[in-house]
Structure 1
Amino acid sequence: MNGTRGTIEIHLKELLEEAGLSKNKFCQRAELQRSQLNGYLNNTITRLDIDVLIRICDTLDCSISDLLEYKPG
């Protein structure tokens, strides 16, 4: 996600690899559509959905700071 004040990087790809989950299995467990997952994986989403973030963190047993990183501009 890009902005004039910095960016938010989503580390879902790395977390999925660490967990050893396939995209399909993760989508089932986190109740995500594949298109939603791809948006998070490719850092192309423009609005974060709190419910989705909760399901991601719950499914991967991680914290929000593991998932999201703010990088100043």
Structure 2
Amino acid sequence: MEEDYGYLEIRLDELLKKKGLSKNKLSHKAEMNWKQIDNYCTNSITRLDVYVLCKLCTVLGCEIQDLLVFHPPGEE
């Protein structure tokens, strides 16, 4: 039986809209592949890369808690 440990929500898409940046512009600024940016925007990432998170926070001028939100077990 699989345990419910909650989940992390990646709010990159929300941050991009707030900052007025496109995925394409972010991929150039952060020197990342567009598809990787898209995967973070759609919460399709299963293993987070700390280096990538640092790049995103630096380029976007945000804190990690702006990018990631933990939802405890049972929370929808």
Task: Establish whether TM, by shorter chain, passes 0.5.
Answer: yes
Aligned-partner SS, 2:7: strand
Name the counterpart of 2:51: 51
**Per-residue deviation, 1:19:** 0.8
C-alpha deviation, 1:23, in angstroms: 1.2
**Partners of 2:58 and 2:65 in 1: how far apart?**
13
Q: Structure 2: 5+ residue runs without aligned partners?
A: none
Counterpart of 2:16 in 1: which secondary structure? helix
User: Identity across aligned pairs (percent)?
Assistant: 46
- Alignment pair present for 1:23 and 2:5: no
Aligned counterparts of 2:9 and 2:35: Cα–Cα separation in 1? 18
Aligned residue number for residue 12 of structure 2: 12
Structure having the larger proportion of residues in strand: 1
Shift of 1:29: 0.3
User: Which residue is equivalent to 1:72?
Assistant: 72
Tell which deviates more after alignment, 32-41 or 60-69: 32-41
Asked if the contact 2:23/2:38 (under 8 Å) is kept, the reply is: no
* Structure 1 unaligned spans of 5+: none
Return the letter of the residue paired with 2:58: D
The structure number with the bigger radius of gyration is 2
TM-score, normalised with respect to structure 1: 0.91
- The one-letter code of the counterpart of 2:46 is T
Q: How large is the Cα RMSD of the aligned pairs?
A: 1.1
